[in-house]
Structure 1
Amino acid sequence: MDTAGLLPHAPYIKALDRELAARGVPPGRLLIYTAAYPGQHARCPAEQRLCAYLAWDATRCAGPAGLAWHWSHDQEWSTARTRRERRLPHTTRQLLLPVYAAPSALADVAEALVLDLRPATGSREEWEGAGRARQAAAAWAKSRTAGNRRRALRRRAYLPARLRLGQAHIAQRGGGAAAGGGTVLLRVIGAAASRARA
């Protein structure tokens, strides 16, 4: 099953891919994915952003280096020159196009960059489905954020109750590691931590 096709920005990125293929400059690599914002926990972030990555290796470009584009639903398109799938330092630039720029405008820019020419980036035209895509992205972000917050609240409510239970067992047994209470506490903490990960 194509899970990337279920993401709200997939129709936009696929429309761009079709336009690039029609122009004769299809990317060698196309990824549609989600990512955590910088500084957030990667496995269960509070919020996620919708992203896309398009790459043309050096064999597809007229210049000495390849080309990579990055997009997220809350930032403009950015481009960078690459060599062996690594971004070259000091080559990242904003394309100065709207977040949901028209695929034809992006294809014009891609064609120029692949041919190692200076692109004309004056177009502010948006994709015809931009409004629907923004609404879908907002609804998706709201549902993801609410679900992650509910899971985090359940974990916080569960762990302290288990830790209090472990401390109560220690108090009943006379406390301290000498009385064997420390092992009970470790067992309870280990059980609570393993349940929190599930």
Structure 2
Amino acid sequence: MFVDDVVVYMKRKAPLIGVNKWSAIDSSVKDAIVADVIAKWDLEDTYSTKGKILTIARERYRGWRSTLHSTYKAYSTDAQRRANKPEDVTPEEWDYIINYFGTDLKFQELSRKNTENCQKQKARHIAGSKSYSQISYEKRDEETGKEPTILQLWQITHTRNGSWSNEESQTVYDNARSQIREKEGEIGGPISSEEQNNIFQNS
């Protein structure tokens, strides 16, 4: 699977030691990830292809670090954490991650805020650990390569078997759809994906 291969090459090359986020990773490393994926899948080396690969790699790198943090929090002592090292990191990487999560004040404050934000969020998605960009890519039209609109993606990630995950999720969808239809009625035709995104973000 394409996404799986991107993740494999990302984990092989993207460092955990010495960096705390995707944007801090050197561009040469990102270029190497792109080159490996292009070679594996025999893809045309275009700006669009590179962007798609890097988007997936970025989201999954963030997810990887988030999973490592969850593992860190699952144990109360560093000894327990070291005894339960995740399989996809080396002992040296895990030691660094343990020290980073335990001593970096900026990270601890960000983690606290993220926890608060998650508790406040009412609209619940059902996509598990997959990022929106990954789901969007997987749901693209196989012939045209066109990905779902923001409204379609919201419906995909917040419904199961035709039922919404909760009322808040459906309300967000209904409000945005109503505003998009109103705008399309004003101009007498469909609006661009960018305009849909703007309406959705502000609805």
TM-score interval (norm. to shorter): under 0.3
TM-score, normalised via structure 2 length: 0.24
- Higher helix proportion, which one? 2
- Higher strand proportion, which one? 1
TM-score, normalised via structure 1 length: 0.24
**Rg larger in structure:** 1
